[in-house]
Amino acid sequence: MTLIYISIILSRISGEFVMAKLTAEMKEAFGKMKIFPVATATKDGIPNVVPIGGVVLVSDDVLWIVDNFMNKSLENLKSNPHIALYVWGPEIKGCFQVKGHATIKTSGREFDEMKAMINKKNPMLPARSLIIMKITDVFACLPGQDAGKKLL
Ligand SMILES: Cc1cc2nc3c(=O)[nH]c(=O)nc-3n(C[C@H](O)[C@H](O)[C@H](O)COP(=O)(O)O)c2cc1C
């Protein structure tokens, strides 16, 4: 147990984030979701939330979020990389609040891959930047006894 705490503290100090891997149930819910409410905040904590369709689960602990038309969201992420979204809809079992850390890419292999993927679906979309969200925490958000409980 002590070793786990030490490695968490060391990874925080070294700037790494302790990533959280989504379970099969969470990934199934992700696959059914069409639009995600994506929340960011200014450095001073003023919140901003927008509907985003371009969210892709690329591995168990990484999401790609496509910036086509972001303004405040993008500005917020440049000064405050904390980002959150939730996964819920009438067709989805459970409700998952997902928090993470964002990195913005406007060039490179991952950016090119994202742009090609988006433009294959819709060549009119600008795909201006790629937001790589590393998942750090997941909380339950269904009403009831477990509401707000940390799952990952
Ligand atoms: C259904 C829906 C899906 C959207 N999907 C995206 C998206 O994938 N990427 C994007 O940049 N904006 C998308 N938008 C636009 C953003 O929600 C938002 O209007 C824009 O990012 C500007 O908000 P901001 O200044 O708070 O960042 C979508 C809007 C709607 C209504």
What is this structure's pTM? Answer: 0.91
Mutate to test the pocket of ligand 1, among 34, 52, 63 (most ligand atoms within 8 A of CB): 52
Task: Check if 83 has its Cβ closer than 6 Å to any atom of ligand 1.
Answer: no
Domain presence at residue 145: no
Task: Check if 49 has its Cβ closer than 6 Å to any atom of ligand 1.
Answer: no
pLDDT at 18: 84
Residue nearest to atom 14 of ligand 1 (CA): 52
Domain presence at residue 31: yes
> Which CATH number do you get for residue 125?
2.30.110.10
Domain presence at residue 63: yes
Domain presence at residue 129: yes
Is the pLDDT at 103 greater than 80, yes or no?
yes
Domain presence at residue 151: no
Domain presence at residue 8: no
How many independent structural domains does the chain possess? Answer: 1
Domain presence at residue 58: yes
Domain presence at residue 59: yes
Mutate to test the pocket of ligand 1, among 35, 67, 69 (most ligand atoms within 8 A of CB): 69
Q: Residue 78: which domain range?
A: 19-140
Cα(152)–Cα(149) distance, rounded to whole angstroms? 9
- Residues 108, 112, 118, 123: what is their CA dihedral angle, to the nearest 10 degrees? 130
pLDDT of 35-71, one tens digit each? 999 999 999 999 999 999 999 999 999 999 999 999 9
